[in-house]
Chains A and B, each alone.
Chain A
């Protein structure tokens, strides 16, 4: 009973919040509702008994990815509405509609639940962190390692991009002060 109530509550809230994300013109509203929706999605994992994935959803999406988005949003004036530039509404409608239809078909397929069987069912008495771990390091070892490698490459390129002038201190370097002073003189 509780599961059903919780499921419909979470579904309605998640859909509502993501609608706000898509339709709102205010960066702050969009960001807040996206983060809140991510939190609620972890609720579905907890209802299904997949505690580990629920916590990972919290840590990865809410704690890391959305936090970085929000950090980037800080460089904009978040209290003002943005002006959207939409050059070709028909094309946007077509592409958006098509991908929506494809997604709905994909996720509505399990309606025929008799055709689905769990390939890697949960083991009794084993926590689902262990189950996920076993699958990750046997069946999905190669994709897992490739993903790790890609993340490493992304991290190194991020460091290189950000680290060009890392050895110069912005506060202790005197040449930076000189630059500011010359700019002031020109004014």
Chain B
């Protein structure tokens, strides 16, 4: 398969890709778990509380306590539910989130030292599947993530579940339009759908970042990204006061947890896309990779910041914002970008 890798890099082998996949699975799951702790601490700091403090120093072991609770909880399947679909729905959410991560650059590439038996000398690439059309693939896979909540809601024979699932479907389908259209303008400027090309196009320092050329697209993408990852102010999918827990109403234990691992993995994916497409991405070397981790960390923090600052919107305001404000702005942005490129 044709790749856009730089020529002098070692050959990517199947073993390298497998190792990369395992690394992504392990690290992102861990970050997703740790993210819940960070989220509670940051929210607590902003609201002048302490947050989790009792389990371990500064509540650090709260994560382990929550994990043990999730894993050992009884796995309840409702009597009238379609049991098979009910059981696979959370797996779809988690799986699509991780498959989407396979096409984005996560962590630098490295070669396993020779002294390690069996795997020594294997080259582990920074992107598990270096596709020419990485951005399209990631957006498509995140779109497929819709089936998790959708099937969960339809299979559980619970009215809150199905209302929550309907909201999810409407919100994701609508905001996918904005995500796609907003990211189209930077794609037109760079002329490629590959993350590597995007990174190379902005390698000339802060001045070459696409955010200066495409500020409108950046803001639109960020807003749509918040909606697609179900963050406040658009977290209407499990809005307790209206739809109990939405599509996750009947779920307990690890199956419930899988929805949230998927959600946090999607938050990380959206942050990585925003960092690479608009903020210059990574550069070579360990220090260069530190920059993208800082950028992703900033976006993650921004999501928590917004959650602490704003109340959520009503469903009708959500749709109004998408179709009557964001989508026309995105279209006008594309039109202006096209005119500037042509002239």
Residues of A within 8 A of B (CB): 2, 26, 28-29, 32, 35, 39, 46, 49, 51-52, 54-56, 58-59, 62-64, 67-68, 70-71, 73-74, 78-79, 127-129, 171
Contact = CB atoms under 8 A, between A and B. Distances in A.
Which of A2, A55, A64, A68 is packed against the most chain B CB atoms within 10 Å? A55
Given A32-B85, A62-B143, A67-B173, 10 more contacts: A2-B14, A28-B82, A49-B2, A51-B137, A58-B137, A58-B140, A59-B136, A63-B143, A79-B154, A129-B133
Interface of B: 1-2, 14, 80-82, 84-85, 131-133, 136-137, 139-141, 143-144, 146-147, 150-151, 153-155, 157, 162, 165-166, 169-170, 172-173, 176, 180, 192-194, 316
Q: State the majority secondary structure of interface residues on A.
A: helix
Contact of A58 (B143, B173, B316): B143
23 contacts: A26-B82, A28-B82, A29-B85, A46-B1, A51-B1, A52-B132, A58-B141, A59-B140, A62-B140, A63-B146, A64-B143, A67-B147, A67-B150, A68-B173, A71-B169, A71-B170, A73-B154, A74-B166, A79-B81, A79-B157, A127-B133, A129-B132, A129-B193
Nearest to A26: B82
Contacts of A28: 82, 85, 151, 154-155
Contacts of B139: 59
B136 A52 contact: yes
Contacts of B132: 51-52, 127-129
A77 B165 CA distance: 14
Nearest to B194: A127
Contacts of A68: 173
A54 B85 CA distance: 26
B162 A79 contact: no
Contacts of A2: 14
A51 B82 contact: no
B236 to A, nearest CB: 15
Contacts of A79: 80-82, 154-155, 157
Nearest to B180: A59
A71 B165 CA distance: 9
A127 B166 contact: no
Contacts of A64: 143, 173
Nearest to B314: A171
Contacts of A73: 154
B4 to A, nearest CB: 8
A63 B176 contact: yes
A79 B194 CA distance: 42
A168 to B, nearest CB: 13
Contact of B165 (A26, A49, A59, A74): A74
A63 B193 contact: no
A165 B176 CA distance: 26
A74 B162 contact: yes
A128 B139 CA distance: 18
B140 A32 contact: no
Contacts of A46: 1
B233 to A, nearest CB: 20
Nearest to A47: B1
Which of B2, B165, B170, B176 is packed against the most chain A CB atoms within 10 Å? B2
Contacts of B85: 28-29, 32
B225 to A, nearest CB: 16
A160 to B, nearest CB: 16
B6 to A, nearest CB: 15
Contact of A67 (B14, B82, B169, B193): B169
B133 A78 contact: no
Contacts of B147: 32, 35, 67, 70
B169 A63 contact: no
A127 B193 contact: yes
A127 B143 contact: no
A102 B84 CA distance: 36
